[in-house]
Amino acid sequence: MGNLAKTTLLLGLLSGVLMVMGQMLGGANGLVIAFGVAAFMNFGSYWFSDKIVLRMYNAQPVGPEHRLYQAVASLSQRASMPMPKVYVIPDPSPNAFATGRDPSHAAVAVTEGILRILDDRELEGVIAHELAHVKNRDILISSIAATLAAAIMMIANMARWAAFFGGSRSDDREGSNPIALLATIILAPLAAILIQSAISRSREYGADAGGAAIAGSPYGLVDALKKLDVASKRIPLDANAATAHMFIIKPSAVSGLMSLFGTHPPTESRIRALLGQ
């Protein structure tokens, strides 16, 4: 299954979990309110994503004389995309991200650490990956997923508080099942997190493939990922959990069952996919 089809399916599943919760809990008004609040919060984050995240990491703009700017300009032209704004983050941990609500309002940022360890070919691989995120409108997709997941969590919290203070109207309805209600309250947020993480991993694979196409070869990104996987563990990035999914390498490593909640696929899997293995 292609990454686009997989993302569409996962977004559908996330929407399905939201609808099931609304039916199980019997609170149509609560469903609408929770979705509205989540949509408002995430729309704001989506619309102002470039300003918010760049300020969060103290990113500094760079001009045409900078090596990074020249790489972004060359690859943007090759990808037939508008030139994004270019920033460097004053941090020794090697990492990078792209942000912005659409290709005309995009920004690419990399850390000082990544500029120190990557050669020009590897840096181009990373930049091409980030441009692919912009071209694929992954910020929009992640915002939709975050809205659905946040609404599910809000409804679950509302249901927990209602149960704590004496039960909700749905408890008194004929045929209601308290065990099923409890399972929904507990399992639905877990399912939302798992699906949201799976969407993020799918978009990373998509950006890897798109970046290889923009760069004209997967090998620059492959070699960059190998370096970044080692160096980012040696010098981890102190990243906000809400923005960790944006970076090319997850700031903190996860393994075992916790990888199900990871926003990034294992680096080895990404490399194998890039090489067609």
Which residues does the annotation mark as catalytic?
A: 130
Strand 85-89, strand 106-111: pairing:
parallel
What is the rounded CA–CA span in Å between residue 157 and residue 202? Answer: 28
Those residues whose C-beta lies under 8 Å from the C-beta of residue 189, and which sit 6 or more positions away, are 152, 153, 156
Do 188 and 20 contact (CB within 8 A), yes or no?
Answer: yes
Please give the structure tokens belonging to residue 73: 């300009």
For 141-154, the DSSP string reads HHHHHHHHHHHHHH
CA atoms of 156 and 152, how far apart (whole Å): 6
- The whole-angstrom separation of Cα 188 and Cα 182 is 10
Count of CB atoms situated within 10 Å of the CB of 33: 15
CB atoms within 10 A of CB 136: 19
Side chain identity, residue 222: V
**Cα 206 from Cα 138, distance rounded (Å):** 10
Question: Residue 215 belongs to what H/E stretch?
Answer: helix 178-215
Tell me if 153 sits within 8 A of 192, measured CB to CB. Answer: yes
Distance CA 136, CA 140 (A): 9
How many whole angstroms separate alpha carbon 50 and alpha carbon 27? 36
